[in-house]
Amino acid sequence: MGLTTAVLPIRFSNESKQRLRNLLTKHERITLVRAMLSDTIKAVTDARLIDSYSLITPDIQFLNDSKPAFELHRSETTGLNEELSAYVTILHQKAVQNVIIILPDLPLLTGPILDELITAGTQSQRPVIAPDWRRHGTNILFFHLPLPIQFSFGEDSLKKHLASFTTAGLEPITYFAIETALDIDDEAALQRFFLSARTQPAWQSTNAYRALWVDEKRKGKVT
């Protein structure tokens, strides 16, 4: 099946999750970002089919403060797509065969779900794209090296990635599950997360859920 490396691009700033500013303070938003990163890291480390893990970030403070069981790589570029392209080139030089890029704001992600997604890609020898819950963005991207396309993370990235793979003569698999789709980026996603957690006890054990509900007074901010 080949060696698979997971790559998580990390970006912390005081402007994180601005679309949640009507519900959460700046401190609460940063806490949520870190909690979702912890949930995503747990899923990656629980996955049986991921052989190595890398966090890439331009954030020096994060690199200084963090000592996870991941390879830490300081990005030298300013844009996410350029950052990922540069690092994937390094992985190709190291003879890595498969890469799975995971945006680290997926609190519901699990190891078995990642294994299922990777299996779909390795058995078919096709790239796999996991879109966000609105089916506009790309939350996870699995592919074989060498890199066949240019990354297009950002607005309408799902459509752009699908088109790029098609142009490259590849037929990507679209993998959709709530665990890979629900990225908490705005108020609608946050409401969906809490509404679903009421009937899904496992969701209540996530770091993201605990971070949001640690202060009982905060409960009045969601319905």
* 124 compared with 71, residue with greater pLDDT: 124
pLDDT at 217 over 50: no
62 falls in which pLDDT band (50, 70, 90)? low
Strand partners, 128: 142, 173
Cβ atoms of 5 and 90 closer than 8 Å = no
- Say how far apart CA 44 and CA 153 lie, in whole Å: 20
6 falls in which pLDDT band (50, 70, 90)? very high
List, for residues 100-150, the tens digit of each pLDDT value.
999 999 999 999 999 999 999 999 999 999 999 999 999 999 999 998 899
Q: What is the dihedral of CA 131, 133, 137, 138, to 10 degrees?
A: -30
> How high is the pLDDT of residue 24?
75
Angle in degrees, 0-180, between the axes of helices 111-124 and 26-46, rounded to the nearest 10: 60
State both tokens at 75.
């990005």
Three-state secondary structure call for residue 39 = helix
Q: The tokens 């099946």 sit on which residue?
A: 1
pLDDT at 17 over 70: no
- Say how far apart CA 189 and CA 36 lie, in whole Å: 13
> How high is the pLDDT of residue 216?
40
List, for residues 23-35, the tens digit of each pLDDT value.
677 778 888 888 8
pLDDT at 71 over 90: no
List, for residues 157-214, the tens digit of each pLDDT value.
999 999 999 999 999 999 999 999 998 888 888 888 887 887 888 888 999 898 887 5
pTM listed for this prediction: 0.89
> How high is the pLDDT of residue 192?
85
* 174 compared with 63, residue with greater pLDDT: 174
> How high is the pLDDT of residue 101?
97
Q: Would residue 115 be called left, alpha or beta, if left means φ above 0 and alpha means ψ between -120 and 50 degrees?
A: alpha
**Domain annotation for the chain: domains and CATH numbers:** 4-216 (3.90.550.10)
For the chain, the residue count is: 223
> How high is the pLDDT of residue 215?
46
Cβ atoms of 104 and 180 closer than 8 Å = no
Q: Would residue 110 be called left, alpha or beta, if left means φ above 0 and alpha means ψ between -120 and 50 degrees?
A: beta
pLDDT at 63 over 60: no
